[in-house]
Chains A and B, each alone.
Chain A
Amino acid sequence: MAIERHLNDTVHVTNLEWFVNWSRKSSMWPLGFGLACCALEMIAAFVSRYDLARFGMEVARPSPRHADLMIVSGTASKKMIPAVRRIYEQMAEPRWVIAMGACACTGGIYKNYAVVQGIDRHLPVDVYIPGCPPRPEALLDGILQLHAKVMKEQSIRNPRVTRVKVAGE
């Protein structure tokens, strides 16, 4: 039946799309990028106690051109947002965004003139993680949710194209 049997299980047969998705999610490189107090929980998730390396994510890249995943960890002020958008634009496709914490999701307690009321006004967010700040376990769960989402993508037939939203669009 399966061709593997005839080759004494020395090969593994799958479809290309599954394989592409699996390789993308198994070595997703996050951008080393912290905006506020949530960044400390993100750092805790990276180091030995929570050990993000278990999910192939230990290589935080300081350059957006090497990164797949932007974890928006914290309050995005309006002064900061042109820089955040520029960093996102420099990331290579395919790229994903996690909004970590109440501020990145909605602006949080900062409903004022200086803070962007949710990073999804500017970036296409894939996973929202609530909490103020979320614990490292919550971040790990959000990342696993993102992995599940990546595995469902039609990476070959219908590759994702993400664009930065333009103001007023």
Chain B
Amino acid sequence: MNQEGIRDRLVSKFGEDVVSDATMFRDQLCVTVTKDKIREICRFLRDEPDLAFNFLSFVGAVDNYPRTPRFEVVYQLNSLRHNHRFRIKVRVEEAEGGLGSVDSVVDVWPTADWHERETAEMYGITFNDHPDPRKLLLPEHWTVFPLRKDFPLEGTDDTPDLPPQTN
């Protein structure tokens, strides 16, 4: 199925409101969907026989600082059965005094587990109902989010070499 066909299936299932933005670039369509429906949308894309996105290639994020909403979480989908790909995004606002959040899709594609953990630690985005919300790559004692645009590349006092001495 071509890219517009996949978008039209989404719109006919969930209504016009769910697709807030659709950008065509180099024959690839990038569809921004509403955040609170992401889990149902993913399940729909996986389970429909003519879509059959049975493989989640990647989950990542984009920091659009200083624009708002600040973050976009990107899902790169692949269908091994039909050999077609699709990209969906959700916008995540930085919450006041906390972290922005989006629903986890681990129960749709188990491979989202590590992708979401990496995205969470690098950008400071909480994935709701994630089964294992630990850090993946960074040291446990860090409290910073290094891939945010306002984070200095060379690190801060919050990125020490060693964990704090416990004794």
| A residues neighboring B (CB under 8 Å) | 78-79, 81-82, 85, 111-114, 116, 121-122, 166-167
Contacts and interface: CB of A to CB of B under 8 A. Distances in A.
Contact of A113 (B137, B146, B165): B146
A116 B156 CA distance: 13
A114 B162 contact: no
B29 interface: no
Given A112-B154, A113-B153, A79 B139 contact: yes
Nearest to A81: B161
Interface of B: 137-139, 144, 146, 151-156, 159-163, 165
B146 A82 contact: no
Contacts of A121: 161
Contacts of A167: 160-162, 165
A87 to B, nearest CB: 15
A81 to B, nearest CB: 5
Given A111-B154, A113-B153, 15 more contacts: A78-B159, A78-B160, A78-B161, A79-B137, A79-B139, A81-B161, A85-B162, A112-B153, A113-B146, A113-B151, A113-B152, A113-B155, A114-B155, A114-B159, A122-B161
A115 to B, nearest CB: 9
Contacts of A166: 165
Contacts of A79: 137-139
Q: Which 4 A-B pairs have the closest CB atoms?
A: A113-B155, A113-B159, A167-B162, A78-B161
10 contacts: A78-B159, A81-B161, A82-B162, A113-B144, A113-B152, A113-B153, A113-B159, A114-B146, A114-B159, A166-B165
Contacts of A113: 144, 146, 151-156, 159
